[in-house]
């Protein structure tokens, strides 16, 4: 069973403007016909958006993520998620708010680079 379900629900209700705008572009398989979930819990981490089919996480980062302490924490978090086989795509709040088309293009690139999400060994 996934952890942090009550916190995930709270975060869905209290999403930022950038998260809300990106969700409008991702929901209902609107982008690349793939399913995204928002505020999805994996291994003690809560991902802003997650596509299970392609094991792609999207994090919408505000200004606090560019401070030294948070850069190190984000790098550790990314490393831990990579151990689960998850690829991390980080996008800036301002890019989402001011250039949603460009952000969507980056997401499409990330998804299409995983056309075979579970390759044979």
pLDDT for the residue 69:
67
Report the pLDDT value the prediction gives residue 114, as an integer from 0 to 100: 61
Q: Please write the tens of the pLDDT for every residue from 53-81.
A: 999 999 998 756 455 666 788 788 888 88
pLDDT computed for residue 11 by the predictor: 80
Measured between alpha carbons, how far is 111 from 76 in angstroms, rounded to an integer? Answer: 23
Q: Is the whole model's pTM more than 0.85, yes or no? A: no
pLDDT at 121: 42
pLDDT tens, position by position, 86-98: 999 999 999 999 9
- Over residues 12-27, the pLDDT tens digits come to 787 889 999 999 999 9
Q: Which domains occur in the chain, in start order? A: 14-112 (3.40.960.10)
pLDDT for 45 equals 85
Is residue 43 left, alpha or beta, with left meaning phi > 0 and alpha meaning psi from -120 to 50? left
What is the number of other CB atoms lying within 10 angstroms of the CB of residue 14?
Answer: 9
């Amino acid at each position: 069973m996934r952890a942090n379900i009550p916190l995930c629900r709270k975060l869905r209700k209290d999403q930022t403007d950038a998260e809300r705008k990106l969700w409008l572009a991702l929901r209902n398989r609107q982008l690349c016909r793939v399913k995204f979930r928002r505020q999805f819990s994996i291994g003690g981490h809560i991902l802003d958006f997650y596509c299970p089919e392609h094991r792609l996480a999207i994090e919408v980062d505000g200004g606090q993520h560019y401070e030294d302490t948070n850069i190190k924490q984000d790098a550790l978090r990314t490393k831990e998620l990579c151990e689960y086989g998850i690829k991390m795509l980080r996008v800036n709040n301002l890019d989402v708010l001011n250039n949603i088309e460009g952000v969507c293009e980056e997401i499409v690139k990330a998804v299409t680079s995983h056309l075979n999400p579970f390759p044979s060994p």
